Amino acid sequence: MTDKIPVTVLTGYLGAGKTTLLNRILTEDHGKRYAVIVNEFGEIGIDNDLVVGADEDVFEMNNGCVCCTVRGDLIRIIAGLMKRQKPGAPAFDAIIVETTGLADPGPVAQTFFVDEDVKAKTQLDSVTALVDAKHVMARLDDSKEAREQVAFADRIILNKTDLVSEAELVAVEARLRKLNPLAPITRAERANIPLDQVLGLGGFDLGRILDINPEFANPAHGEPGHVHDEHCGHDHHDHDHDHDHGHAHAHHDHDHHPGARGHAHEDDIKGISLSLDRPMDGTKFTAWLDRLLGEQGQNILRAKGIIDVSGEDRRLVFQAVHMILEGDLQREWGANERRWSRAVFIGRELDEAALKAGFEACAA
Amino acid sequence: MKSMYDAQITAIVFDTEGAIFALGDGSVRFEDGAFSAAHDGAILCAVAHPSGTGIVTGGDDGRLIWHRRTDAGVLATSARGQWIDAVDASAESGLIAFSAGKTLTVLDAKDAGFRRDFQHERTFSGVAFEPRGRRIATSTYGGAALWFARIAEQKPTFLKWAGSHTAVTFSPDGAFVVTAMQDSQLHGWRLKDQKNMRMGGYPSKVRAFSFLSNGQLLATSGAQGAVLWPFVGANGPMGREATEIGFDEGSLVALVASQPKHGVLAAGLNDGRVWLADPPGQGLNFLKAERGAPITALAMSPDATRVAWADEDGNAGVSEAG
């Protein structure tokens, strides 16, 4: 009972395909048992022994931090679920939390960092957002929660891709990428994605921040420092243009006109990628990050970064959810590795120029 | 007596005959070996039956069950099978109260036809009878609610304090209500004037509290030692300092157990040890000195002569306290 139970959060609005995905996870022949926490009034038809209804009981902590909200129902349910666990023979191997389209993912995630009992028994693995390729644009337009769920995710599954054209997919992906440059986007039909792209992602694990997802620190196309690597997902050979599009694919078409919600669209939430090729002053950087999260943590949904600290052979890795920050010195830089600092902040009303100036002012 | 179970022990209760263990696999084990498997799922909470015989358990199957050594029967079920996660009972009034979601349900052990359901605005998590068993306190977000146990239509008195309150108890004289909070502190109210009492300074959440010494002391877990708050006179702990006994830097007191009329305190530690202080403040007597998995359940018999404990790995024992 010393191993922490991994917890995967699935977000997405009604009709995005969460129940299909959930049933695929539960019925696939993997020999694992899951406890599933669903919304009390949510979709039915989940094929599992252990399904618990949650009631979205969000509350504020009394620690003076206004964005420090947690889910009281999750605290209670996880405490109750842990009572089923047997010494040496677990009643379940992992917990999957399915939220509604209206749920704010912040309190769900923060529960796993703030509550000492939940933290002692479980480990938040990742947040996966499921979106429906056909309806996501309209949802992103009219729903703050839909934008937040995409922005918050460690992985985005773009489902029902068979119902739209390639050009529409490219436009959707461009918009998703601007909302969240950290999360890989996986295309799917009928939620047919490999389970290892949903479970065991280690989205909050500092040690795995780069290893699983090197593209996240790659500034967006058109930004200085962007590296076209195998994760870009587009054709490398003809990439000398400089406009700010998203990730096109093998047949990508520079002339497409994505329409009103395409390039011209500005969401209130966006991801800002920062990088610096000179080493940073560790003290200055830590002070800057603490101040930034203290002042703007309410608006910052997620942040991740790897920093090249002057005089330090190891990489400083951090991740944050609102004001909750975790940072540590991880493995040493490789002998032939490019030493550079990069960070991504995803949030509302972020001042890109000020963030860039603040980040660069931390140079040693 | 020592035993080992293949499920977690989630609660221990003493009735007039001995210790009764409630398990995470839904079964109940009596100290004399009797067995009852009535729940389909885990037992989340338990209390001694008001009659003094047997245990009343609430489960994640939404059932409230009274188990005796020879038989068991369902007393009530929750709406839509919601988890029953808190239960209390009063030998004085013969009533049983339990929580499921936002509903507080009151039953009468002597009248199978009696049932009251009281709705809260939000989910609540703790239930406690006032010593005479006529009122019930519940803990919820933003404070504690006070209900009259038998009145069908009523609005509760709400004792306000910002934050999430996760457990509740009454002082044995009925003058104070104390809650444990999400934020590693206690909060108290003097009922006659609803004066607030902040009782903080804990390094960890308070999972258990229990009155002893005729209600003059409230013992709590949540620190490196057992914390004792003085409840003497009309002011209770207001303006007074708590004391800590059995301080050990390397461990935390996970649970405490005592009986209001007796001056003996038992504590279960997160390193698996169990001690007894009789009286508190004059040394510790280790009932279980070997370290192991954290203590997850602890109870003291009504006459304060025996202590039962269980750890996270399924080990359980009953020790003589005298």
pLDDT, tens only, B31-53: 999 999 989 999 999 999 999 99
Contact between A52 and B60 using a beta-carbon 8 Å cutoff: yes
- Residues ≥6 apart with Cβ < 8 Å to A238: none
Q: Distance (Å) from the C-alpha of residue B322 to the closest C-alpha of chain A?
A: 32
Q: How far apart are CA B297 and CA A13, in angstroms?
A: 41
As a whole number, mean pLDDT of residues B95-112 equals: 96
Residues of chain B neighbouring A83 (CB-CB closer than 8 A): 8, 10, 24, 42-44
d(CA A264, CA B216): 70
d(CA B64, CA B96): 10
Q: Are β-strands A94-98 and A5-11 bridged in parallel, bridged antiparallel, or unpaired?
A: parallel
Could you read off the pLDDT of B282-304 as tens digits, one per residue? 889 999 999 999 999 999 999 99
The residue ranges of DSSP E strands in A16-56, in sequence order, are 34-39, 50-54
A66 inside 8 A of chain B by CB: no
Q: Does the distance separating the beta carbons of B122 and A84 come in below 8 Å? A: no
pLDDT at A40: 64
CA distances from A52 to A39, B62, B106 (A): 8, 12, 24
Distance (Å, rounded) from C-alpha B225 to C-alpha B243? 9
Phi, psi of B4 (to 5 degrees): -135, 130
Percent of chain B topping pLDDT 70: 100
User: Which residues, 6 or more positions from B6, have their beta carbon under 8 angstroms from its beta carbon?
Assistant: A86, A87, A89, B25, B314
d(CA A249, CA B101): 49
pLDDT at B135: 97
Is ipTM over 0.90? yes
CB contact under 8 A, A57 and B122: yes
Sorted by sequence, the CB contacts under 8 Å of residue B194 that are 6+ apart come out as: B159
Tokens coding B203: 């390094």
Q: In this model, does residue B121 exceed pLDDT 70?
A: yes
**How many angstroms separate the CA atoms of A41 and B168, rounded?**
29
pLDDT digits (tens, 9 = 90+) for B151-177: 999 999 999 999 999 999 999 999 999
User: Which chain A residues contact residue B86 at CB under 8 A?
Assistant: none
Chain B residue closest in CA terms to A82: B24
**What are the backbone dihedrals phi and psi of residue A144, each rounded to the nearest 5 degrees, phi first?**
-60, -40
Choose, out of B9, B121, B161, B164, the residue to mutate when testing the contact with A (most A CBs < 10 Å).
B164
Q: According to the model, what pLDDT value does residue A265 have?
A: 58
Query: Which of helix, strand or coil describes residue A347?
Result: strand
| Contacting residues of A for B163, CB less than 8 Å apart | 60-62
Residue A242 CB contacts under 8 Å (≥ 6 apart), including other chains? A222
DSSP A163: G
Chain B: closest CA distance from residue A1 (Å): 8
d(CA B2, CA A225): 66
A55 → closest Cβ in B7, B123, B293: B123
Mutation target for B interface from A57, A76, A83: give the one with most B CBs within 10 A: A83
Tell me if residue A3 falls in helix, strand or coil: coil
Q: Along the 364 residues of chain A, how does pLDDT read in single tens digits?
A: 458 999 999 999 888 988 899 988 888 878 889 999 987 655 567 777 788 888 888 888 877 676 789 999 999 999 999 999 876 778 899 999 999 888 889 999 999 999 999 999 999 999 999 999 999 999 999 999 999 999 999 999 999 999 999 999 999 999 999 999 889 999 999 988 888 888 888 888 887 776 434 344 444 444 444 444 444 444 333 333 333 333 333 333 344 444 334 444 578 899 998 989 899 999 999 999 999 999 999 999 999 999 999 999 999 999 999 999 999 998 899 888 888 899 999 999 999 999 999 999 999 9
Give the mean pLDDT of chain B: 95
pLDDT at A215: 47
Q: Which of A49, A52, A84, A117 to mutate to test the interface with B (most CBs of B within 10 A)?
A: A84
CB A75 within 8 A of CB A115: yes
A91 interaction partners in chain B (CB closer than 8 Å): 24
Task: Count CB pairs under 8 A between chains A and B.
Answer: 76
Helix/strand/coil (H, E, C) string of B3-51? EECCCCEEEEEECCCCEEEEECCCEEEECCCCEEECCCCCEEEEEECCC
Q: Helix (H, G, I), strand (E, B), or coil: what is residue A79?
A: helix
Residues from chain B contacting residue A62 (CB–CB below 8 Å): 162-163, 181-183
| pLDDT for res B322 | 66
Cβ pair A59:B125 closer than 8 A: no
3-state class (DSSP) for residue A291 = helix
pLDDT for B57 equals 98
C-beta of residue B117 within 8 angstroms of C-beta of residue B105: yes
Chain B residues within 8 A of A117 when measuring between CB atoms: 205
Cβ-nearest to A62 among B24, B80, B162: B162
Contact B314 A87 (CB under 8 A): yes
B180: which residues sit within 8 A by CB, 6+ positions away? B126, B139, B165, B166, B167, B168, B186, B205, B206, B207, B209, B220, B222
Longest dimension (CA), chain B: 53
Reference B142, options B125, B159, B157; nearest CA is B159
Identify any residues that bridge with B265 across adjacent strands, giving them in sequence order.
B258, B277
pTM value?
0.87
Bridge partners of B228? B219, B243
Chain B contact for A48 (CB, 8 A cutoff):
no
Spell out the SS3 assignment of chain B: CEEECCCCEEEEEECCCCEEEEECCCEEEECCCCEEECCCCCEEEEEECCCCCCEEEEECCCEEEEECCCCEEEEEECHHHCCCCEEEEECCCCEEEEEECCEEEEEECCEEEEEEEEECCCCEEEEEECCCCCEEEEEEEEEEEEEECCCCCCCCEEEEEEEEEEEEEECCCCCEEEEEECCCEEEEEECCCCEEEEECCCCCCCCCEEEECCCCEEEECCCCCEEEEECCCCCCCCCCCCEEECCCCCCCEEEEEECCCCCCEEEEECCCCEEEECCCCCCCEEEECCCCCCEEEEEECCCCCEEEEEECCCEEEEEECC
Report CB contact under 8 Å: A85, B8. yes
Distance between CA A55 and CA A68 in Å, rounded? 19
CB contact under 8 A, A75 and B123: no
The number of residues in chain A equals: 364
Identify whether B294 is preceded by a cis peptide bond (ω within 30 of 0). Answer: no
pLDDT, position B220 = 98
CA B123 – CA B103 distance, rounded (Å): 8
Is A1–B181 a contact, with Cβ atoms under 8 angstroms apart?
Answer: no
pLDDT of residue A211: 47
B28: alpha, beta or left? (left if phi > 0; alpha if psi -120 to 50): beta
